[in-house]
Structure 1
Amino acid sequence: MREYSIRQAVEADIDEARAVMLDAVYRDFGTGYVPHWHADIIDPVSFYVTPPRHALLVAVDEQDGTVAATAALDARGPAHPPNPGWLAERFPSGETAQLRRVYVRPGHRRRGLARRLVDGLLEFARADGGYRSVYLHTYPHSPGAMGLWQALGKVVCDEREEVPGGGSGAVHFEIPFA
């Protein structure tokens, strides 16, 4: 059985973390790199490593030292547009810890890595002391995502049902944060 360590990303992890994220947007989402949506993937240091209230965690495979999974957190709430206005009001920037880029390479899935990474991000957010809620959005076609987020949180908006025309198809979650 493989062993993994969960840690804050360091300089040596950045290229591999970026590769995990890019692989996910190409393979799992089929969108490929879209600059407007994925600038943080190209420059994770500026988005997640340098800002003191943000974090980028990685799961490192102890067998070969490679990055098997990523998860990030920042203080940006959902923007309106494209998200519904009431959602942006409910989860304002600065007070909201938004979970992002929770991606696991296919060969490392079903080993609890995403949950361990999310637990680490929630610990980080609690230690920060300035967050009052935890938010994320996902897409139903993302492998394993809906099951994970339904187990950890509650749906606050399913665009497929609540937004005229289905919006972007995103499902928005709040993770309990006490």
Structure 2
Amino acid sequence: MSNSHAKEEWKSWIKALLIAVGLGMVIKTFMFAPYLVKGASMEPTLHNSEKVFVNKLKSADDLKRGDIIIAEGEDKENHYVKRIIGLPGDQVEMVDDQLFINGKLQEEPYLAENRQIAKQGGMLRLTGDFGPVAVPENEYFVMGDNRLYSMDSRNGLGLIQEENIVGKGEFVFYPVSHFRDVK
């Protein structure tokens, strides 16, 4: 093998590597990314230290009530995993541990396990009464599924601006034994 042929082969490999790294950065920055769940605010849906695959290709039309999202904190350093409860234009209210959106009682099947645990522990409610809260345009009302241990739109996190939503959780991919859709 000639020296110039070896040199060309190296250039080809370096070029391919740079393209792969560049594509990887573009995909992670603009399309998809892994996020680490920290804390218990979304249990039992998501657990501490699980990794979630997040779809960053979202628009306001793609966001629906019940979606699990990753939101950027005001400091841009912290990220929060929460469930969308109220959409722009909604009135959100909690009365006697029952969620009402625009005056209509909402089913929350993702709370069934936490409600059972609370009853066994002698607790009557997962969520204190609040509202009605009007959700302005381009903002979302979010809560964690583990309502007793979640900082969310009710108690410190506030409403989430649309531009602070990083993306929608799609599936848990780590640990591999816990692989599942995020619902």
TM (normalized to structure 1)?
0.26
- Which structure has more helix as a fraction of its residues? 1
Which protein has the bigger strand share?
A: 2
Q: Compare CA radii of gyration and give the structure with the larger one.
A: 2
Compute the TM-score of the two structures, normalised by the length of structure 2: 0.26
* Bigger relative CO (Cα 8 Å, ≥ 6 apart): 2
